[in-house]
């Protein structure tokens, strides 16, 4: 089966991280940093991610690496459901008297998604509980720690995860310095006493009202965030569902209903309420179940995750080609026996001899594989190169390349360079602001902006980009001396493909060409430019009257700003689901929310 890895993004102003797409005919896998703008970049490059059920997050669990994760989850869920619905409708149209089978749609809507990442992955997702709700979409999160690296009885490293296509070994790398960037003391966090915490809701608070130790506190936080994430994606909650509850146990505010004993109709309860001056009757009322995510008003504080996650990913071993001539010579009858031998099982020939599969198959080979190494700072280098998995034949046999996702200055680290020299027989693809220019990644919207700028330069500024300069102009790269990459290493390019099967090959012909901004500008019609010039001249002629009018209206300095927040199905031109109205001396925001939250 053909398989390959394609680079979808490199670090730029448009896409701050690196995304890789591992492609099989039957499945896709996303690997890397799901940053803000990832969905639009994927639409721009034309990659198909419909069959994606697993996302392997690399690096640390921080917003810079996972700002687009929530939107990506919604995209995959909605795309999966839409695809299933379309197939069901096509099948119905193509068959007379076909009775629509909604089970197929339901199965697609309940496709299980699994996300791997550093600790605090659940915490990040749970923080979106107020505005993300996709019931019936099972989502499993796997927070990777060093406990996931295990061996079998013979001492061989066991895969962290596998399926029919790949085996994966995860590596949680901690920085070598305890004072590395991002470390905070958990004890400094506080929880508002006015808000219900996990302890009050679940009755697990210590007797004196505090946690027994920090380990218990972390465990409680993990339980809370997992339960919240489960409620966000696997809940059976419905807005219009009512549950029976004794009136005295109702927590206000809440809308209460009672059922008429004669007509059985539901009507609003208008009697004494709990907590009031009047004595409440001993009755059962109907109350709406609160949205599970809203039951937790605040999340406990947590320590920032310092683990940076890297992976070794390998295809399964490839069996050798079946040799019919050998099977015939050994007296194996055609048909089922040949199929059994092809699948690695033994059979008995017509003479009663046992024939094993290795007698009729050519020697197999290890499946192709790669190492995806995400090292955000130099503090992670020593711990990474010391990993025993990278020296194990059980893990590295078949690996043909390293994808290096490196922070500023890391590529010049002497220890890393020595390690790369030891592995120079493999391919090395480096994605870093040190070596990847700040090129335009959203070509279509950049082209549109460049054309509009010719008409109205005040409102359509030229997108910031630089096709050649490295390292990129960035506060973190300022003052750094960046050594050139060795001759055996390749700079990551958008669209670049590393083929794993049937042959291992780095292919350059899929690289997306650099946007020719000069050609885009020259494409604009001269007639359009003449009309724009005439319009500008007409405005300037009436400038005095326009200024007088502007001075007569209130808040003339008000601004309407389109905010690019999370969108389930963004286009490559537009990704706006909220609008900010900024008025000097005031703050008014209009936010587009799902319909279920507008009641």
Category of 142 on φ-ψ map: left (φ > 0), alpha (ψ -120 to 50) or beta: beta
Please state, in angstroms and rounded to a whole number, the distance separating the CA atoms of residues 120 and 102. Answer: 37
Beta pairing, strands 347-348 & 354-355:
antiparallel
Residue carrying structure tokens 């392997």: 56
Beta pairing, strands 489-491 & 497-501:
unpaired
Structure tokens at 134: 């996709």
Q: What is the pLDDT along the chain (599 residues), one digit of tens a residue?
A: 799 999 999 999 999 999 999 999 999 999 999 998 898 899 999 998 989 999 999 999 998 999 999 889 888 887 777 666 666 666 666 654 444 444 444 444 457 899 999 999 999 998 888 778 777 678 899 999 988 899 999 899 999 999 999 999 999 999 987 544 544 333 333 333 333 344 433 444 444 444 456 667 777 778 888 888 888 887 777 766 788 889 988 878 778 889 888 888 888 998 898 888 888 899 999 987 766 666 566 777 777 789 999 999 999 988 878 889 988 888 898 889 888 888 888 999 988 899 888 888 878 788 999 999 999 999 999 999 999 999 999 999 999 999 999 999 999 999 999 999 999 999 999 999 999 999 999 999 999 999 999 999 888 888 899 999 999 987 777 777 889 999 999 999 999 999 999 999 999 999 999 999 999 999 999 999 999 999 989 988 888 888 888 888 888 888 887 776 556 777 888 766 677 888 887 755 554 444 433 33
Alpha helices in 343-485 (DSSP H): 381-385, 393-396, 414-422, 443-455
Please state, in angstroms and rounded to a whole number, the distance separating the CA atoms of residues 490 and 158. Answer: 31
Tell me the CA distances in angstroms from 362 to 322, 326, 339, one per residue in order.
Answer: 7, 10, 15
Residues 6+ apart with CB under 8 A from 486: 417, 420, 421, 424, 428
Tell me the CA distances in angstroms from 208 to 199, 201, 217, 237, one per residue in order.
Answer: 12, 17, 14, 35
Structure tokens at 267: 């009507």
Concatenated DSSP letters of 110-139 = T--EEEEESTTHHHHHHTTTTT---TT--E
Going by C-alpha positions, the residue among 302, 446, 374, 408 that lies closest to residue 66 is: 374
For each of the domains in the chain, give its residue range(s) and CATH number, in order of start. 3-95+102-176+306-318+365-435+470-507 (3.60.15.10), 242-288 (no CATH), 324-359 (no CATH), 553-599 (no CATH)
Q: What is the pTM of this model?
A: 0.80
């Amino acid at each position: 089966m053909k398989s390959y890895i394609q680079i979808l993004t490199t670090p730029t102003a448009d896409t701050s991280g690196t995304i890789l797409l591992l492609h099989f005919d039957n499945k896709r896998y996303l690997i890397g940093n799901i940053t803000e703008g990832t969905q639009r970049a994927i639409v721009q490059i034309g990659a198909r991610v419909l069959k994606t059920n697993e996302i392997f997050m690399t690096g640390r669990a921080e917003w810079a690496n996972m700002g687009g994760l929530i939107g990506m989850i919604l995209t995959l869920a909605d795309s999966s459901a839409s695809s299933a619905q379309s197939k069901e409708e096509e099948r119905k149209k193509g068959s007379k008297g076909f009775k629509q089978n909604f089970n197929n749609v339901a199965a697609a809507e309940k496709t299980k998604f699994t996300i791997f990442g550093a600790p605090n992955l659940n915490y990040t997702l749970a923080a979106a509980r107020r505005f993300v709700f996709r019931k019936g979409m099972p989502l499993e999160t796997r927070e990777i720690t060093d406990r996931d690296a295990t061996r079998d009885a013979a001492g061989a490293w066991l895969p962290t995860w596998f399926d029919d296509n790949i085996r994966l070994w995860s590596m949680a790398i901690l920085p070598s310095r305890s004072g590395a960037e991002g470390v905070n003391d958990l004890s400094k966090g506080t929880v508002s006493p006015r808000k219900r915490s996990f302890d009050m809701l679940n009755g697990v608070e210590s007797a004196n009202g505090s946690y027994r130790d920090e380990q218990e506190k972390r465990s409680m936080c993990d339980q809370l965030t997992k339960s919240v994430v489960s409620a966000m994606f696997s809940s059976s909650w419905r807005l219009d569902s009512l549950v029976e509850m004794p009136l005295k146990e109702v927590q206000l505010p809440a809308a209460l209903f009672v059922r008429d004993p004669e007509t059985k109709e539901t009507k609003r309860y208008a009697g004494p309420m709990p907590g009031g001056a009047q004595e409440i009757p001993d009755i059962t009322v109907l109350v709406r179940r609160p949205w599970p995510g809203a039951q937790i008003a605040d999340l406990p504080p947590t320590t920032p995750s310092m683990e940076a996650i890297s992976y070794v990913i390998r295809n399964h071993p490839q069996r050798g080609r079946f040799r019919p001539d050998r099977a015939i010579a050994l007296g194996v009858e055609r048909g089922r026996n040949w199929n059994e031998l092809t699948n690695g099982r033994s059979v008995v020939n017509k003479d009663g001899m046992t024939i094993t599969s290795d007698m009729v198959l050519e020697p197999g080979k290890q499946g192709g594989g790669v190492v995806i190494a995400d090292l955000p700072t130099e503090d992670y280098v020593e711990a990474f190169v010391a990993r025993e998995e990278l020296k194990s034949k059980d893990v590295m046999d078949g690996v043909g390349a390293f994808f290096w996702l490196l922070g500023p200055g890391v590529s010049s680290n002497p220890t890393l360079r020595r390690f790369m020299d030891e592995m120079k027989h493999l391919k090395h693809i480096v994605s870093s602001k040190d070596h990847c220019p700040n090129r335009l990644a959203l070509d279509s919207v950049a082209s549109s902006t460049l054309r509009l700028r010719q008409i109205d330069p005040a409102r359509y500024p030229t997108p910031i980009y630089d096709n050649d300069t490295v390292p990129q102009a960035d506060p973190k790269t300022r003052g750094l001396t960046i050594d050139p990459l060795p001759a055996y290493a390749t700079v990551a390019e958008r669209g670049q493909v590393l083929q794993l099967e049937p042959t291992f090959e780095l292919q350059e012909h899929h690289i997306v060409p650099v946007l020719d901004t000069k050609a885009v500008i020259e494409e604009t019609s001269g007639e359009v430019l003449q009309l724009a010039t005439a319009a500008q001249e007409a405005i300037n002629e009436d400038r005095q009257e326009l200024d007088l009018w502007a001075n007569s209206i209130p808040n003339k300095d008000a601004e309407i700003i389109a905010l690019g927040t999370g969108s389930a199905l963004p286009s490559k031109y537009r990704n706006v689901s909220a609008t900010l109205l900024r008025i000097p001396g005031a703050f008014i925001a209009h936010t587009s929310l799902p319909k279920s939250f507008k009641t």
